[in-house]
Amino acid sequence: MKIRSIAGCWLILFCFFLLSTPQAGRAQKVENQEIFSPKEMNKRWETFSTDKAFLVLLKEVRAKGFTRKKDPKASWGFKGTAVSEKGEKDDALFCIFDLEKKGSKETCSMIWGRKGKIAYKAYLVIPEGKGLENANEWYVDEKNTVQKANSWKTCVLRELPRICGPFCAGAVPACAVAAGATIGATGGIGAITSPGVFLGCLAAACGGCVGFISLLCLG
């Protein structure tokens, strides 16, 4: 009964956030979305790890003590076709991998995203005892220099409730708990510690909307 009441409160908070967020113009969409299997995600990781820009990030992540989680649910990704408001189509790809640090509750996630000519390769570090809303984000620029950012994280926290909320709010509590948020947390999405787990869980419940948000927030 307690869990149900907490979930109900979480749903109310989620819907309040949805209604209080300004509405944007007509959204683009993602067609022909193909979700990657755990085996395919492993192949993608191997391929990304040979990319010069991603390798710059990976070296930093490893230096901070993080290694990729072995749990197949700790990564999620897809490919498809991004369609703009004007009907322009571009190939798109998005993958996120959760990492862990031995002996610590600090977590990390690495992102590889591409939408047409837009590419975003980054990593997030969530401090111990905190959630996604407190994550530190870094990306690698066209000169393979690591820069501080908060764009993808901030965009997801803002746009996912607004756009996916009408048909996805009910799945948030269970997916947030699966992604490391405590049952009593009131931060919802902002309290998760494993973004890869969360997006994979939510995508299974909500379909293509999660993929759309992942691409939208690339820039």
pLDDT tens across 40-82, in order? 999 999 999 999 999 999 999 999 999 999 999 999 999 999 9
Could you give the 3-state DSSP secondary structure of residue 182? coil
Per-residue pLDDT band at 184 (split at 50, 70, 90): low
* Domain positions in the chain: 2-17+29-216
CA 86 to chain CA centroid, Å, is 26
CA 184 to chain CA centroid, Å, is 22
For 134-172, the pLDDT digits (tens) are 999 999 999 999 999 988 999 999 998 888 877 787 888
Q: What is 138-191 written as a DSSP string? A: EEE-TTS-EEEE-HHHHHHHHHHHHHHHHHHGGGHHHHHHHTT--TT-S-GGGG
Give the rounded percent of residues in the chain with a pLDDT score beyond 90.
63
The mean predicted confidence, pLDDT, of the chain is 85
Cα distance between residue 83 and residue 173, in whole Å = 30
Which of 126, 151, 130, 150 shows the shortest CA–CA distance to 61? 126
Per-residue pLDDT band at 131 (split at 50, 70, 90): very high
Per-residue pLDDT band at 173 (split at 50, 70, 90): confident
Q: The whole model's pTM is what?
A: 0.85
Task: Quote the Cα angle for 174-203-194, to 5°.
Answer: 60
pLDDT at 201 over 90: yes
